[in-house]
Amino acid sequence: MSQFEERPLLVFWEMTRACNLSCLHCRASAINKPLPGELTEEDALALIDEIKKFGKPYPTVVLTGGDPIMRQDLFYIVKEMIESSIHVAVSPAVTELLDANALANFKRLGVASISVSLDSIYSAMHDKIRSIPGTFDKTVQVIKRALEIQLPIQVNTTIMKENMMEMPLIFEFLRRHGIKVWELFFLINVGRGINVQPTSSIENESICNFLYDASKYGMVLRCVEAPFIRRVAELRSRDDRYWPDPLYHRLRDTLLTNSGESDKVSSFGRSGTLDGDGTIFIAYNGDIQPGGLLPYRIGNVRDDSLVDTYRSDRTLKSIRRREFKGACGLCFFRQICGGSRARSYVHFKDPLSSDRGCIFAFNS
């Protein structure tokens, strides 16, 4: 039975689709103004009450978008959640709205962390991905300011064909700047990201082996839509020479050249969340989905209980029981991995199918 059968670890709320950036891989295809049907402030207060029905320890709520700062009631909602003993993390876009005052407000209110995105150490490349000149410089400024005021901050990076060779460089850049948490998003072709080339299953295996090595330097690494990192960690614990692919060795050699050897243990565990198993996502209009990159509607918080939906929905129960089809259903590692449910939905229109981003399932 899943450890997350009764309550998720994380509730993601897409507060708005409004955002002043226009990122190439944006899941939400965000625009510069709110869409009709956004959850209201009143809806937000009702959502807080509903989340508390999961019981303690309450799930952490991650406020995302679009750009949550585009909502004028953001800080009020954050305050209400924190006063209700709910841990809150915020994922703002790096725009002129994320200024020193906004960072100070997050610190004052006591958010658990904020996250910002950095997809390249080269300003031209990062600004191209984010579509706004100057975003790279602004991101570095935000990172430095957050660290100065001791506001917990993590950096997110979306891995795609265009930047995969930069992973060791980004890692060392973040390490030198004092970042303690790096979250890697393996591209899913949804939203505007449908036009961006993802990494292949073989490349994913090489990248995960590199990330396993990088996780031994004292920084916490997390992977999104790549639960096969847990399989890689298990295999590497048995045979550290498991993966001989040249791409992996190029990434590893760059890591060793820039960062030196490490004698620490990997921060990757053998268990974690999966879309619908430890996480649940609420879209801007209240639709409930297993995850943000999995646009599979299973209810709406205006009409349905979030708690009952999470605990009782048949698809979510199948995910938690690992009742999958194809290679993922037969895989020896399905309990610790489970495959990306979002990627299976993109390829097969079925959240219970196989994950073609994994070498064990690519040919299914």
pLDDT at 240: 80
pLDDT at 362: 65
pLDDT at 363: 55
Q: How many CB atoms lie within 10 A of CB 40?
A: 12
pLDDT at 364: 44
Q: Strand runs (DSSP E) across the chain, as ranges?
A: 10-14, 60-64, 88-90, 113-117, 153-159, 181-186, 220-224, 274-275, 278-282, 287-289, 299-300
The span from the CA of 356 to the CA of 348, in Å, is 10
pLDDT at 23: 84
Q: Tokens for 111?
A: 């958010």
- Domains of the chain, with CATH numbers? 10-259 (3.20.20.70), 324-364 (no CATH)
State which residues of the chain have pLDDT below 50.
364
pLDDT tens-digit map of 216-235: 999 999 999 999 999 999 99
The span from the CA of 297 to the CA of 283, in Å, is 9
Could you tell me the pTM of the whole model? 0.95
Q: How many CB atoms lie within 10 A of CB 60?
A: 18
Single-letter code of the amino acid located at 214: A
DSSP string, 299-347: EETTTS-HHHHHHH-HHHHHHHTT---HHHHH-TTTTT----HHHHHHH
Asked if 38 and 87 count as a contact pair (C-beta separation under 8 A), the reply is: no
Residue with tokens 């760059």: 254
pLDDT tens-digit map of 171-223: 999 999 999 999 999 999 988 878 889 999 999 999 999 999 999 999 999 99
